[in-house]
A = this chain, B = another copy of it.
Amino acid sequence: MKLFYRLISVCLLAIPCYSFAQTHPNLMLTAGNIAAVRSGCANSPLLKKSYLEIKAKADKALAEKMDVPTPKDGAGGYTHEQHKNNSQNILACGIAYQISGDPKYAAYIKTMLLQYAAQYEQWPQHPKRKSNQIPGKMFWQCLNDFVWQVTVIQGYDMVYNAIPAKDRVTIEQHLFIPIVKYFTTECKETFDLIHNHGTWCLAAVGMTGYVIHNPEYVEMALKGSAKDGKTGFLKQLDELFSPDGYYTEGPYYQRYAIMPFIAFAKAIQQNQPQLHIFQYRNNILAKAIHAALQTTYTTGNFFPVNDAMKDKDFSSEEIVYGIDVAYADIQPEADLLDIAKRQGHVVVSDAGLKVSKAIDKGLSKPFGYKSMFLSDGPRGDEGGLGILRYGSNASQQCVLLKAAAQGMGHGHFDRLNLLYYDNNTEVFSDYGSARFINIESKFGGDYLPENKTWAKQTIAHNTVTVDQTSQYKANLEKSEAAHASLVHFEDKSNIQVVSGREDGAYPGVGLLRSSILFKPEELKKALLIDVFEVNSEADHQYSLPFWYQGVITDASFKFSAVTDGLKAMGKDNGFQHIWLNSNNDLAEPSGFITMLNNNIFYTTHFAATSPLQVKLVTLGAGDPNMNLRNERGFILEQHKNGCQAFISITETHGKTDPTSETTSGAQSNIGDIKVMSNDVNGATFSFTVKGVSYTAKLDYNSKNNFIQISKSK
């Protein structure tokens, strides 16, 4: 019993020898609710649309030649895609069978699973092997096998009662049991890992246990292969999320990881409701779903910090599952329905029915984006993400300051990275990961070498690089051992601020960044004010890039870009990938650059406390396979010892209309940034807004007066 101390911390539970229901289906779709879901598929528009999509997929599957090929290809190749499709077809046919009652869908699943059962045991480990990954048997990494099984077991559950018992024996003996055996022996290391791959693995095993009535599988899934609770699902719920529900690998992987958590939790809830899994650790799964949504911009795209495909948004299937279960099984919050509507479909399931009917009743409210600090680390004490938002969802300004832990192997060396969004687009952006996912001709669809040499390096991010070297010298172990930390967060009416600090990335150099959204009464939008303090007794070179979208249309200084013989900025640490277009020593330590982005102008005014260089750069050097996008940036540089600061104010202004060919407000309304004082305790600077003088004062030691911005006397 003592192994379940965490579970007991929620409510006192005895787990009586893992006995559970033996009805089918009993996962996302349950026997008792079939009649209601069928009726909803006929009458409730969103569920109906979702069902018709699934049914079309099932019908397409039935019309095509069935193929269970011998595994051969890496991601994106034929056998990879075919096995993936087969699993999705099994799930689609399972749902189609339950809703339509047509036995042809069940027959399809039976036939296909028998084909798998006839071959699976003969297949060796996959002939290709993704680097540093245990191979699967169907796919080049075992992770894909886990996902396959999580998907297939749900389809099997739905047609369980329609498959003759002798065929079920064949399928279970020669496919599912050997699969679980592979997952818990050859993949044991992953099974017991506190990591999203581990979640997928144990969800596959646990869900299989429920469906084929094997309590031992469930026990291992919950408590780890040794059944001692040191690993397993509950331990993962304890360790992988912060108390705020943030998943340490970052939003892209938070989205991905949520799927097996939700699917397995729902399976537990159906089969062992006495475990109260959704209430575990103070509703941690609900918090995780909300954290996933709060780490998107209003476009639905996840903040692409750490390894992330940038076009991923909350319409992905994992979040569809998350929204539906969160609304139906945890707490029916009206603004989740707004997301469900934008996703455009629901899971054809008990949960999907509830969501669809609630939308029918007009219960939806706009999603409530909030300014917040999302803590990182199991105990919430390893920094986190500061998120500032201003304005309506239709044209929101949003700032992300990353002052978090490393986030394991997919983490980037980007402490105090700043992202800025406005007007439904990126203004200052993160490269995301360097990868053509599932495109086999591009490095097998895997992370490209440039993910390591470029995307993870500090200079690829909008944060200070010291001496052209990445934070922690890009050493994962050293970086994992420390974390950035929160200095201050507050959200007043017209001033929001998040401030974070990182002292371990560069020995002897303190980094402290304070990012502010300030709405002066003279303007319609807020200003992004950013103060990046660096502090060291030794001489260093500090490089602060702003990787921007759009094009530069104006600057306070005249630049003259290299016209021939373009050079890379350096040899390593990501600098080997940067073309140096123009190197400008400024006569004064201040200036501005204006960019045009999505028909809106953005002017960044900057000031420094020592002589300033501005480098205009383009990504793409050191890239023999032309894998990189040609993004552009400007890099501010100072060289000196002592305490110094990069202060910038970015204004949104004016617009162009390409249809009517009109332009207005191309000139910024901000002027005269002057640094009045700057030291380790704070900074004071002044600027004008439409000619009106303002003074801003930061006091890093004050909780109550951390920031004051007022009109100058």
Interface residue ranges, A against B (CB under 8 Å): 76, 81, 84, 309, 311-313, 315-317, 436-442, 445, 551-554, 559-561, 563-568, 576, 579, 581-582, 594, 596, 616, 618, 620-626, 629-630, 656, 658-664, 666
Please state the number of chain copies in the assembly: 2
**Chain B min CB distance to A429 (Å):** 16
Expressed in whole angstroms, the Cα–Cα distance for A559 and B567 within the complex equals 20
Residues of chain B contacted by A626 (CB below 8 angstroms): 551-552, 559, 561, 581-582, 616
Expressed in whole angstroms, the Cα–Cα distance for A559 and B81 within the complex equals 27
Residues of chain B contacted by A438 (CB below 8 angstroms): 656, 661-663
Which of B316, B563, B594, B656 is in CB contact (< 8 Å) with A624? B563
Establish whether residues B579 and A663, one from each chain, have CB atoms under 8 Å apart when the complex forms. no
Residues of chain B contacted by A445 (CB below 8 angstroms): 663
Establish whether residues A561 and B439, one from each chain, have CB atoms under 8 Å apart when the complex forms. no
Q: Which of A81, A566, A663 has the most CB of B within 10 A?
A: A663
Q: Which of A553, A554, A594, A659 has the most CB of B within 10 A?
A: A659
> Given that A659-B316, A663-B76 are contacting pairs, would A564 and B568 also be in contact in the complex, using a CB cutoff of 8 Å?
yes
Expressed in whole angstroms, the Cα–Cα distance for A438 and B626 within the complex equals 35
Which of B84, B582, B623 is in CB contact (< 8 Å) with A561? B623
> Given that A84-B662, A436-B553, A660-B316 are contacting pairs, would A568 and B563 also be in contact in the complex, using a CB cutoff of 8 Å?
yes
Residues of chain B contacted by A622 (CB below 8 angstroms): 563-564
**Chain B min CB distance to A321 (Å):** 13
Expressed in whole angstroms, the Cα–Cα distance for A666 and B81 within the complex equals 11
What are 5 residue pairs bridging A and B, where the CB atoms are less than 8 Å apart in the complex? A442-B553, A561-B626, A563-B568, A563-B624, A565-B566
Establish whether residues B313 and A659, one from each chain, have CB atoms under 8 Å apart when the complex forms. yes
**Chain B min CB distance to A605 (Å):** 15
Residues of chain B contacted by A317 (CB below 8 angstroms): 659-660
> Given that A561-B623, A618-B630 are contacting pairs, would A666 and B441 also be in contact in the complex, using a CB cutoff of 8 Å?
yes
Expressed in whole angstroms, the Cα–Cα distance for A266 and B113 within the complex equals 72
Expressed in whole angstroms, the Cα–Cα distance for A315 and B660 within the complex equals 9
Establish whether residues B312 and A658, one from each chain, have CB atoms under 8 Å apart when the complex forms. yes
19 other A-B residue contacts (CB within 8 Å) besides A439-B656, A440-B666, A441-B554: A316-B660, A317-B660, A436-B596, A437-B663, A438-B656, A438-B661, A441-B594, A442-B554, A445-B663, A551-B629, A552-B626, A559-B624, A561-B623, A563-B623, A564-B567, A564-B576, A582-B626, A616-B626, A618-B630
Expressed in whole angstroms, the Cα–Cα distance for A553 and B581 within the complex equals 26
The 5 closest A-B pairs by CB, nearest first: A441-B554, A311-B658, A566-B566, A438-B663, A563-B622
A76 closest partner in B (C-beta): B663
**Chain B min CB distance to A574 (Å):** 14
Which of B439, B552, B630, B666 is in CB contact (< 8 Å) with A76? B666
**Chain B min CB distance to A558 (Å):** 9
Establish whether residues B658 and A564, one from each chain, have CB atoms under 8 Å apart when the complex forms. no
Establish whether residues B553 and A439, one from each chain, have CB atoms under 8 Å apart when the complex forms. yes
Expressed in whole angstroms, the Cα–Cα distance for A662 and B560 within the complex equals 44
Expressed in whole angstroms, the Cα–Cα distance for A438 and B601 within the complex equals 13
**Chain B min CB distance to A671 (Å):** 16
**Chain B min CB distance to A437 (Å):** 5
**Chain B min CB distance to A571 (Å):** 9
**Chain B min CB distance to A426 (Å):** 16
